[in-house]
Amino acid sequence: MNRTDSIAKLNKFTQWDVVIIGGGASGLGIAVDASRRGYKTLLLEKYDFGKGTSSRSTKLIHGGVRYLQNGDITLVIESLKERGILKRNAPHLVKDLSFVIPTYDWWASPFYGIGMKIYDMMAGKLGLGKSIIISKEETEKLIPSVNKKGLRGGVIYHDGQFDDSRMAITLALSANSKKTALINYCNVDGLIKKDNEITGLNFTDSINSKKYQINSKIVINATGVFAEEIIRMDQPKIEKMIQPSQGVHIVLERKFLKSKHAILIPQTSDGRVLFAVPWKDYVVVGTTDTHVKNASEEPAPLKEEIDFILKNASKYMTIKPKREDITSVFAGLRPLAATSNKQSTKEVSRSHKIDISPSGLISVLGGKWTTYRKIAEDALNTAISIKKLKKKKCRTERKKLYGFKKNVDWSDPMHVYGSLKKKVKSLGSTSDNKSLSKKFYISNNIIEWSIIHEMALSVEDVLARRTRCIFLDSKESKRIAPLVAKKMADVLGEDQEWIDAELKKFNKRSIAGGPCLPWPHEIESISGNH
């Protein structure tokens, strides 16, 4: 996957079948589906692939226990099916993860046990493992760091775990073909219409400021929480359709969860569930569900959200995490359907909706990582139904994703490359395989691969999304950033001026989420303002 090659295709094809705006889970999923159906496909991403919400999840491919709790049975069944499909098609990226629900009331184990049995039945043949009720002793053995005061037992159930940003890059690589072009750092300036029908769009390449006019049979808007911005290019007076909901996660060292199993906290102080998930030698704890008025490219974690996570997680942990224990924090925005009543965000369905405007703009509203493949299928089938595309069958249900490899070693940080691991390691000399950090694995050959084959253009691209360094330990990421910049400059043929500019950009951090993560000592200064 090469940016220069993708841009060259803009001159090769005078008309595209499908143009997709947005390079997150939904947009990339649509690109994979469209490519495999044989459509000439162009995807444009304003920043980097997966920069927004798609890299800021709980790292779970799941049916949705909380959706079952809310009675959204249809979504649970759909999600469980897609969970099984994704694990089958990308076994190097998706694995089984067992969850323990510690119980402290006499009724809790049978109550949650029955609920999880229903969850298993819904999964059918695509289930990952059977749920069982376990004793107090078994719970303590599986989760040694669990709070033992008042503990009565627990329930084990199974869901899937993945690396969201690596999945996004894998989808981009899977979509790449002779008739497909994916380009990051492109800003859509406006839609083109003829006789009140959308026939294409205008965009600017942010790297060189060059402007392009693109003709297409169909334009699909897959921009998540920013979908309304694109819709208003088509229908300026449209009513509010999306309600952003913020989800915050904190990251801790593994000493706070001395187990290969995750913890599900079924009942928090406001009725939401909370996860503590082992991930890449760290622990991800979240999430929140907070109403925010406006979507932001760098959503800021609120002080009260961090306090909420720490307070509720502490009830279930022997070692109580404090603010200074946080190694990283990130925030993402869910694109929920707007409601006119006082319904809380946790009650709004996570199912997706495909909207068609009178001029033919197709917009994906809502959705979640687990169902990205089904979202893509529905979006393209919709385009076919309105006679914008020639009818072709979806071919993604049993198609392997890029780098497919069974039985990977999950303790190996390079397992995300699947069958390509040897090629990555072969770049450069043997010394290039040595990690630049003692806290997580990042090597010079990984940096080089990210640039040459995965379209990484900045230090942030490498540290946030080609690797997950900044999501694991923000302080350590800041320390190694100069080393990353130097290697990037060598590969790209850039000079010291470029290095200085990149580091200045990287270190110019607001107190915000995502790649603009606060260093641990800065978390104290996060305000509680919405």
**pLDDT tens figures, 109-122:** 998 898 888 888 88
Q: Which of 188, 277, 175 is nearest to 230 (CA)?
A: 188
DSSP characters over 11-27 = HH-SSEEEEEE--SHHH
pLDDT of 204 above 90? yes
What distance in Å separates the CA atoms of residue 231 and residue 342, rounded to the nearest whole number?
Answer: 25
Q: Which of 241, 301, 242, 235 is nearest to 528 (CA)?
A: 301
Place of tokens 């806290």: 439
Q: What pLDDT score does 421 carry?
A: 95
DSSP annotation of 207:
T
What distance in Å separates the CA atoms of residue 354 and residue 233, rounded to the nearest whole number?
Answer: 18
Q: What pLDDT score does 22 carry?
A: 97
Mean pLDDT on 421-439: 91
Mean pLDDT on 466-474: 94
- Angle among Cα 338, 29, 365 to the nearest 5 degrees reads 10
Q: What pLDDT score does 350 carry?
A: 52
Using CA atoms, how far residue 442 sits from 250, 377, 448, 449, 501, in Å, is 21, 35, 11, 11, 22
Alpha helix stretches (DSSP H) within 428-473 = 444-454, 459-460, 469-472
Q: What pLDDT score does 212 carry?
A: 97
Q: What are phi and psi of 321, to 5 degrees?
A: -70, 140
DSSP annotation of 55:
G
Q: Give the residue, 395 or 515, on which the prediction is more confident.
A: 395
Percent of the chain with pLDDT over 70: 92
Confidence of residue 513 (pLDDT cuts 50, 70, 90): very low
What domains lie within the chain, and their CATH numbers?
A: 3-53+166-241+348-385 (3.50.50.60), 94-162+243-341 (3.30.9.10), 414-524 (1.10.8)
pLDDT of 346 above 70? no
Contact present, 473 and 467 (Cβ < 8 Å) = no
Mean pLDDT on 127-149: 92
What distance in Å separates the CA atoms of residue 236 and residue 230, rounded to the nearest whole number?
Answer: 9
Structure tokens at 284: 């991800």
pLDDT digits (tens, 9 = 90+) for 207-253: 999 999 999 999 999 999 999 999 999 999 888 888 888 999 999 99
pTM to 2 decimals?
0.92
What distance in Å separates the CA atoms of residue 46 and residue 22, rounded to the nearest whole number?
Answer: 7
pLDDT digits (tens, 9 = 90+) for 67-107: 666 667 788 888 899 999 999 999 999 999 999 999 999 99
CA 504 remoteness from chain centre: 26
Peptide bond into 467 cis (omega under 30): no
pLDDT digits (tens, 9 = 90+) for 301-319: 999 999 999 999 998 888 9
